[in-house]
Amino acid sequence: MEHLGILEGRQKQILEKRSGMTQADIACDTSSLSGSVSQRACVFCGSRVVLYPVADAIHLVHGPIGCAAYTWDIRGAVSSGPELHRLSFSTDLQEMDVIYGGEKKLYTSLIELIEQYKPKAAFIYSTCIVGLIGDDIEAVCRKVARETGIPVLPVHSEGFKGTKKDGYKAACHALMQLIGTGSTEDISKYSINILGEFNLAGEAWIIRQYYEKMGIEVVSTLTGDGRIDAVRRAHGASLNVVQCSGSMTWLAKEMEEKYGIPFIRVSYFGIEDMSKSLYDVALKFPERPDIMEAAKQIVSEEVKTLYPSLQKFKKALTGKKAAIYVGGAFKTFSLIKALRSIGMSVVLAGSQTGNKDDYARLREMCDEGTVIVDDSNPVELSKFILEKGADLLIGGVKERPIAFKLGIGFCDHNHERKIPLAGFVGMYNFALEVYQSVMSPVWQFAPRKGGLQ
């Protein structure tokens, strides 16, 4: 096999777990190396992901056409009502706009779009070029908000001004402008906001149902199946429950500081973490033992049907090896546990945006010999997949062809998925998808398995 090298300057972002050795921390939280084919995106991407599911707002991308074109209806975030989020709006800046400024075009576009679509709010994303030509989008937004009477929120997401994480923060900042502007009357004391849940394939509905069954009021989901009016009253909740910690922890911290709302981190993937996310919420309301009772009841009922149905998959998958490369590190923790519950071990675990604590915890959780990577690229991923003999890769659309080229199974655990993987039912779907991909007879023809080339 051709020797695949690790780029100089990348070595510190990769480590292989060895027991009995003190190992230096993995390097992370850095910007991508020039010339590497990072699987990361940019600041704009981070903002767009977080705000995308807000379905009754228009999302106008201020810049040349690409940024809007590539994000048109790409995500699996579904809405129970309006679907403005599935449209793509761009100021489509041209050379003359770059020279003379795009403020006027932005203003006219906004006025027209608001008139046409009657949204509850508008998010204006600035792209790289806006950061250079110096359009005062704050001023335009203020003016349009005044004239139309709806919130018009600038999102400072110039692609080059940081990493995807900075984009998350810019999106959270825009949400903070809305939170606190709605009435909190009639909100129960036993209430939460679900943060960092984007309702991919209806996942937020599944989670919401569990909490409601426990007797908890869900004030707002940020941002899955999102509505501006619900965001406005989010400050009325008693607790923030944060999933996808990478994107929403900043918002949770801001809300804690400003409104005194505590937050907990949860994950809805896998039996263990899903159950824990119900118990952890119940623990926050100790004066209501019935909430904990209800949580236990839900878990017991769900597991009773789920567990037997998983055994067929476990039998087939025991001993198979998985590689995980996803956006946030928090998800990898749940995935490792979920994979173990169906008999699979993890030989590679990595993320685009994990931090030091994430990686320390990851190392603790992983088996010996597991490779841990931060901000990896296709060459590295392929190298480790082949070296470690993985049977499955879990990632997003950009990782999918790597798996299939190398002749191994794949599970899409990113924003484009069309099958809910969260909740108890999601664990079943996950196991089924992994089983169907890993056990497919098509791999017998893969060169890796000695199939003819």
206 vs 406, which CB is nearer to other proteins?
Answer: 406
- State the DSSP string of 151-212: -EEEE---TTSS-HHHHHHHHHHHHHHHTTSS--TT--SSEEEEEEE--BTTHHHHHHHHHH
- By DSSP bridging, strand 14-16 and strand 371-374 are antiparallel
Q: How far is the CB of 32 from other proteins (least distance, A)?
A: 5
Structure tokens at 150: 């709806």
- Give the span between the Cα atoms of 162 and 29, in whole angstroms: 11
Which segments of 81-136 does DSSP mark as H helices, in order?
95-100, 103-117, 128-133
60 vs 306, which CB is nearer to other proteins?
Answer: 60
Q: What's 378's DSSP letter?
A: H
Residue 216 C-alpha from the chain's centroid: 24
112 vs 290, which CB is nearer to other proteins?
Answer: 112
Burial of residue 447 (CB within 10 Å: 0-12, 13-18, 19+) is exposed
Do the Cβ atoms of 166 and 156 come closer than 8 Å? no
2 vs 186, which CB is nearer to other proteins?
Answer: 2
Burial 418-439 (b: 16+ CB within 10 A, else e): ebbbbbbbbbbbbbebbbebbe
Burial of residue 363 (CB within 10 Å: 0-12, 13-18, 19+) is middle
Q: How far is the CB of 164 from other proteins (least distance, A)?
A: 8
Q: How far is the CB of 278 from other proteins (least distance, A)?
A: 34
2 vs 287, which CB is nearer to other proteins?
Answer: 2
Q: How far is the CB of 50 from other proteins (least distance, A)?
A: 15
Q: How far is the CB of 189 from other proteins (least distance, A)?
A: 43
Q: How far is the CB of 142 from other proteins (least distance, A)?
A: 19
Q: How far is the CB of 128 from other proteins (least distance, A)?
A: 4
Q: How far is the CB of 39 from other proteins (least distance, A)?
A: 7
240 vs 376, which CB is nearer to other proteins?
Answer: 376
266 vs 402, which CB is nearer to other proteins?
Answer: 402
60 vs 310, which CB is nearer to other proteins?
Answer: 60
CA distances from 96 to 64, 93, 99, 136, 335 (A): 12, 8, 5, 17, 49
Q: How far is the CB of 74 from other proteins (least distance, A)?
A: 8
- Give the span between the Cα atoms of 184 and 194, in whole angstroms: 16
Q: How far is the CB of 326 from other proteins (least distance, A)?
A: 15
130 vs 278, which CB is nearer to other proteins?
Answer: 130
Sequence-separated (6 or more) residues with CB below 8 Å from residue 243: 194, 195, 196, 197, 265, 266, 267, 268, 277, 330
Q: How far is the CB of 40 from other proteins (least distance, A)?
A: 6
End-to-end CA distance of the chain: 15
Residue 23, CA atoms < 13 Å, CB-side half-sphere: 21
114 vs 274, which CB is nearer to other proteins?
Answer: 114
- Give the span between the Cα atoms of 294 and 301, in whole angstroms: 10
- Give the span between the Cα atoms of 46 and 185, in whole angstroms: 33
| Three-state SS at 374 | strand
272 vs 416, which CB is nearer to other proteins?
Answer: 416
